[in-house]
Every structure is written in structure tokens, then in C-alpha cells.
Amino acid sequence: MTTPTLSYTLEGSTAVLRMDDGKANALSDAMITALVEALARAEKEAGAVVLTGRPDRFCAGFDLKVMTAGAEGVRKLFLRGADLLVKLNGLPLPLVIACTGHALAGGAQVLLTGDVRIGAVGPYRIGLNETTIGMPLPILGVEFARARLAPTELSRATLGAQIYTPEEAAKMGYLDQALPPGEVLARAMEEAERLGALSRPAYAATKQRLRGELLARVTASLESDMDSLLAMFG
């Protein structure tokens, strides 16, 4: 499966999803649709998923053209994107992320959904920069950060919109490991193969026990949180 924004290949028992919109890999309506469809396909035919970008760009977050074009567009994109993030976080298959470059705002939230996150060393920026662009961090983003980032860094990462290098991101909880760019995908594939060899029912059930309460709480907050966010902008 290949779209203008995403390619899907089955390599052994691992589904490899490569985001590439030719620009910043924003979470546009098209990208979200392609990812949701790819995840559904992977659940049917794969043992694990590797999600990656292209060199220098992993994901820039929600499409700013839509996010600044009016309340209705913001609501629709945010809710679709939130649904995607919840799907990624609760995917019953192992999800390994190969972060090939910049991961900001919603892109950093994508990183927080991975079971294992391997990042490329380089001049890349990783972080939740919403407050620097005048947007409150949604409850979903706050809760995902709380679950994965170092507790001592949480305020700086969210309120302070701190941006990290890949090496720093590996210490703070956005990544599990930072490697030279040429090694990232191969390492991610190794992790996917290792995790994919585990019992799928046991893996899925354990992930549900680990993250189910969080995801239920986040899902229940989406509509009201969206209303409060939109109200702030009149």
C-alpha cells in the first residue's frame, strides 16, 4: 500500500510504515487516514509495526494550515488525530518507532506512543513546543507525557516547551536509544522482530493492563477538552 503520504511494506512479519509527504510529515487529514488504514492492515497480517519517517523528518505534528484556519477544521483534525494517537498507544501489536529527524508537538506525542523508540543522532529537535506557538497542550498530550517522560522533567517539557536533542531526548523519555542515522531503522527492525516473537495475546493483554486506564481516561476527555481549547480562542 502506497499513498502520497505513506508507504506500507511487509518485511518478514513486520509492517513498516514510512511517512513521507515531501515536506514536514505533518499530521494532515490525508496522513491520519493513511496511518489508520495501515494500522488496521497491520493488525491482520503482521506481528509487529515499525513506524518511521524520511531522513531528517519524522513528524511535525498537526497540520498548521488546518489548525489556524477556523474552529471547525481544528475540531475535526484534532479529534481524528487524537483517535490516531490513542490507536497507536493501544495497538495490540508491538509498535517500534524509528525517529529519523525532527519530532515536534504532535510528532513528539507520536513518539510517546511507541513501545520502543529509536532515534537518529543529529541536529534534530524533539519536544512538545505547543506553548511557544500559542496553543495549550491538550489533556491527551499532558497525560502521554506524564506516563513516559522523567517526572523531574515534566514541567519543563510541557509548560516550558523545552526542546531536546536526540541524546537528551533519550535521557528524558521521548526516546529509548539514540544512534547514528544509518543504524536507526535496522535497530528498530531488530526490536520489532524480538517483540513480534512474543505471544501476541499475552502482549496485547499486558499492554491493555499497562495503558488501558490511561487511554480510557484520555478518550473520555477529548470532546470537553476540545471545547475548552476552542473557547480560549473565542
Residue 234 pLDDT exceeds 60: no
Average pLDDT, the chain: 94
Domain for residue 234, yes or no? no
Q: pTM to 2 decimals?
A: 0.95
CA distance 120 to 99: 6
Q: What integer is the mean pLDDT of 44-72?
A: 87
What tens digit of pLDDT does each residue of 151-199 get? Answer: 999 999 999 999 999 999 999 999 999 999 999 999 999 999 999 999 9
Contact 92, 200 (CB under 8 A): yes
Contact 128, 136 (CB under 8 A): no
The neighbour count for residue 151, using CB atoms within 10 Å, is 8
What tens digit of pLDDT does each residue of 3-24 get? Answer: 889 999 999 999 999 999 999 9
> In the structure grid, which three cell numbers stand for residue 153, read together?
522533567
Q: What integer is the mean pLDDT of 108-126?
A: 98
pLDDT for residue 73: 75
Domain for residue 165, yes or no? yes
Q: What integer is the mean pLDDT of 86-110?
A: 98
Residue 205 pLDDT exceeds 60: yes
Closest-CA residue to 145 (of 133, 155, 135): 155
Count of the separate structural domains present in the chain: 1
pLDDT for residue 188: 98
pLDDT for residue 67: 63
pLDDT for residue 227: 87
| Amino acid (1-letter code) at residue 174 | Y
pLDDT for residue 133: 85
Residue 69 pLDDT exceeds 70: no
pLDDT for residue 10: 98
Domain for residue 195, yes or no? no
Residue 214 pLDDT exceeds 60: yes
Domain for residue 211, yes or no? no
Q: What integer is the mean pLDDT of 205-212?
A: 98
Domain for residue 233, yes or no? no
pLDDT for residue 233: 58
Determine the structural domain holding residue 55 and report its residue range: 6-184
CATH number at residue 95: 3.90.226.10
Q: What integer is the mean pLDDT of 120-137?
A: 94
Domain for residue 232, yes or no? no
Per DSSP, helices labelled H in 69-138 are 71-90, 106-111
